[in-house]
Amino acid sequence: MTSDEKRVIFASSLGTVFEWYDFYLYGSLATIIGAQFFSQFDEATRNIFALLAFAAGFIVRPFGALVFGRVGDLVGRKYTFLVTILIMGLSTFIVGLLPGSKSIGIAAPIILIALRLLQGLALGGEYGGAATYVAEHAPQGRRGFYTSWIQTTATLGLFLSLIVILFTRTIAGEAAFAEWAWRIPFLLSIALLGISVWIRLQLNESPAFQKMKAEGTGSKAPLSEAFGQWSNMKFVIIALVGLVAGQGVVWYTGQFYALFFLQSILKVDGYTANLLIAWSLLVGTGGFVLFGWLSDKIGRKPIILAGCLLAALTYFPLFTALTGAANPMLEKAIETAKVQVVADPADCGDLFNPVGTRKFTSSCDVARDALAKSAVKYTTTAGPAGQPAKINVNGTDVAVYADGKTSPDLAKNLAAAIGAAGYPKPGDASIVKMSNPFDIFRPQPFKVISILFVLVVYVTMVYGPIAAALVELFPTRIRYTSMSLPYHIGNGWFGGLLPATAFAMVAQTGDIYYGLWYPIVIALVTFVLGLLLVPETKDRDIYAGDSKI
């Protein structure tokens, strides 16, 4: 690479660093943010609002793709993603300055949600702009390699946020961090913003866009051409179902659902779980560049679809192995203990609980929710009509209701029964635990990281070449608009809904692995449709501004 090409990649990638830095900041500090900005509500309600504010940023991402994609195809790549990073960076910084609800009342949560919406809109335009800009600078035959560098920045954003949070917590102390020092990581984002804007101001417009403008072949109505004409719209749909949907669920399973599975189901403490995921990402990050480079040789399609297929075929054995490595007592209890919920079928509803704070009232739902949160494998059998549910653990009944409402002794009695059946308590000595960030060479954490590394390899297979594949699917005049929408629907919606949907499936069935069917089915659908419908694009000339697929 020349120094100019390196600067193009570095400048374009900083926006993705921002994306993941902010994602992990807000996700890690959601409880503190809830207490600061929704203090007028009880704890459960403010946690709901905090997580909904977090989700709002994801929901509006596709709309940001439409807004900024159109601007990028009309005005240019450089200026559009200069605007998106300004909006994104300033929104993150202002969160750190925003007074809490105790100071300015209802205005605090309203402004917070508005800032999250602005961040989401800006993010919707950021990735498509960065990917398009880098791809349009890359030499023919090296687009996969060049754009793959953008994909590595998720790891940098993760590590940056973890380091800043841990350092701030250590220096300020827990009490001060919860009160005011949580703002410091948000305020420090101004440094990232300053560097990003300064570097991006030095850049020139992409060669493909300049050529298109010089030839007068640009689109006057990118939105209507991209989505109003079937000749292009069909490839937007193909990109979504044949590439990005599968990529999104494999990406979220390998990182976020794996983290959720470790913490919520295998009962690994949060510190250890985050370190295990961080190490697997650190070791596996080179795969993004490797598979991006390889896609220039053998094609984008075979690598992305192979990643989807391998993930779908091996998720069950890999997550089963993860249970055995991280919590061997749980694995044994699942095999030996017999647990049943005996309930009137009419008393059993759905257990979808996207923010984790839904209150269940029917005895069947209370019983299943309690078992799912304890990571207990169970079956549901029909009981007498009108009778409250009961839990049977190896022949011992545990009452769910007392005097027509949830028994106050349910948690205690259930813990005793499942403990007697061999289920470990949280904090049990057999559960994997790391005492410091470098405690990775003992057999147990090493084995867990090795399994997580395989999941990360699948992530790098599907994500490393995706930017090049999407850029090459569409002509220059509507490229920014066309590629951004399927990317953000596939990742923001298909992928973003994965943890909540998968856990609801676990709770509904009593099988800790049942939630894996969500990514497996979507990955298989992407594999089949991608195989049949997606063209190979690695040799396509993207400088032919009016080329049709």
Phi, psi torsion values for 423, nearest 5 degrees: -75, 130
Q: pLDDT tens-digit profile of 162-221?
A: 788 878 988 988 889 889 999 999 999 898 888 888 888 887 877 777 777 777 777 777
Strand ranges of the sheet holding 390-393, from the earlier edge strand across to the other edge: 379-382, 339-343, 390-393, 396-399
In the prediction, which pLDDT does 353 show?
Answer: 65
In the prediction, which pLDDT does 548 show?
Answer: 44
In the prediction, which pLDDT does 546 show?
Answer: 46
Weakly modelled stretches of the chain, pLDDT under 70: 1, 42-48, 51, 54-55, 353-358, 544-549
Q: In the numeric block, which tokens belong to residue 427?
A: 């904090």
Beta bridge partners of 380: 341
- Cα 253 from Cα 263, distance rounded (Å): 14
- Residue range 1-216 in CATH 3.40.50.20: no
Q: Scan for tokens 């300055």, then name that residue.
A: 97
Q: What's the start-to-end Cα distance of the chain, in Å?
A: 29
In the prediction, which pLDDT does 381 show?
Answer: 92
- Residue range 338-344+353-420 in CATH 1.10.3470: no
pTM (predicted TM-score): 0.86
Give me the amino acid identity at 365. Answer: D
Domain ranges within the chain, ordered by starting residue:
1-216, 228-327+431-549, 338-344+353-420
DSSP single-letter state for residue 398: E
The answer to whether the 1-216 and 228-327+431-549 domains have the same CATH topology is yes
Beta carbons within 8 Å of 180's beta carbon, 6+ residues apart? none
Tell me which H or E stretch contains 539: none
CATH number of 228-327+431-549: 1.20.1250.20
In the prediction, which pLDDT does 43 show?
Answer: 63
**Contact present, 386 and 363 (Cβ < 8 Å):** no
Q: 286, 16, 249, 279: which is closest to 154 by C-alpha?
A: 16
